[in-house]
């Protein structure tokens, strides 16, 4: 985790394309061999980010199912949790977005996680529809995509302006999303 955190800090400080594996290992005070024990390349560091985000989504699905938490609350909390890592700083959010644009490897890794995440979110939507919280006529995968677009778009716009706070931005975004899908 230290390598991941160090890499994220450097990406925020210098931008994704300007950071090398050597920069990461030097800042983390480990050898390159240690880095390559965990990651295939610098690009694969962002695969950890994708896994972290996917784990948050899976946890939300577990919470909705096992705790019977209202879907609105689950999705609201999830949207905020997905904003946590990129919301650490506008610079980090921009570095992450730039990495998606600049690297085919990163794009492939992240695309795979996004598709997996959409399927899990669609299951949450389906639960919400069964419980009468989400309009039943809506296509569950389309609603899942809308949530992903809302979160990613909020991250992008916040990264450009840096204000208001990520939480305030996400509150506003989520309220509009929810009004569009709620019963």
Give pLDDT tens digits for 90-112.
Answer: 999 999 999 988 889 989 999 99
pTM for the predicted model, two decimal places? 0.91
Three state DSSP letters for 121-182: HHHHHHHHHHCCCECCCCCHHHHHHHHHHHHHHHHHHHHHHCCCCHHHHHHHHHHHHHHHHE
Give pLDDT tens digits for 161-170.
Answer: 989 999 999 9
- Confirm if 15 and 97 have CB atoms less than 8 A apart: no
pLDDT under 70 in the chain at which residues? none
Domains and CATH numbers, the chain: 43-181 (1.10.357.10)
Q: How far apart are CA 139 and CA 160, in angstroms?
A: 32
Residue 171's CB: how many other CB atoms inside 10 A? 15
Determine the pLDDT at residue 95: 93
């Amino acid at each position: 985790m230290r390598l991941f955190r160090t890499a994220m800090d450097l990406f925020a400080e210098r931008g994704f394309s300007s950071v090398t594996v050597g920069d990461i290992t030097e800042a983390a005070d480990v050898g390159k061999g240690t880095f390559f024990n965990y990651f295939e390349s610098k690009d694969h560091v962002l695969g950890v980010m994708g896994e972290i985000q996917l784990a948050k989504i899976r946890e939300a699905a577990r919470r909705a199912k096992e705790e019977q938490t209202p879907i609105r609350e689950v999705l609201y909390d999830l949207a905020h949790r997905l904003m946590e890592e990129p919301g650490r700083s506008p610079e980090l959010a921009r570095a992450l977005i730039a990495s998606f644009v600049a690297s085919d490897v990163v794009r492939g890794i992240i695309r795979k996680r996004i598709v997996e995440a959409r399927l899990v979110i669609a299951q949450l939507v389906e639960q919400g529809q069964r419980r009468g919280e989400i309009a039943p006529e809506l296509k569950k995968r389309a609603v899942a995509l809308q949530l992903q677009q809302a979160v990613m778009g909020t991250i992008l716009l916040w990264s450009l302006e840096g204000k208001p706070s990520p939480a305030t931005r996400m509150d506003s975004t989520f309220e509009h999303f929810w009004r569009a899908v709620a019963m």
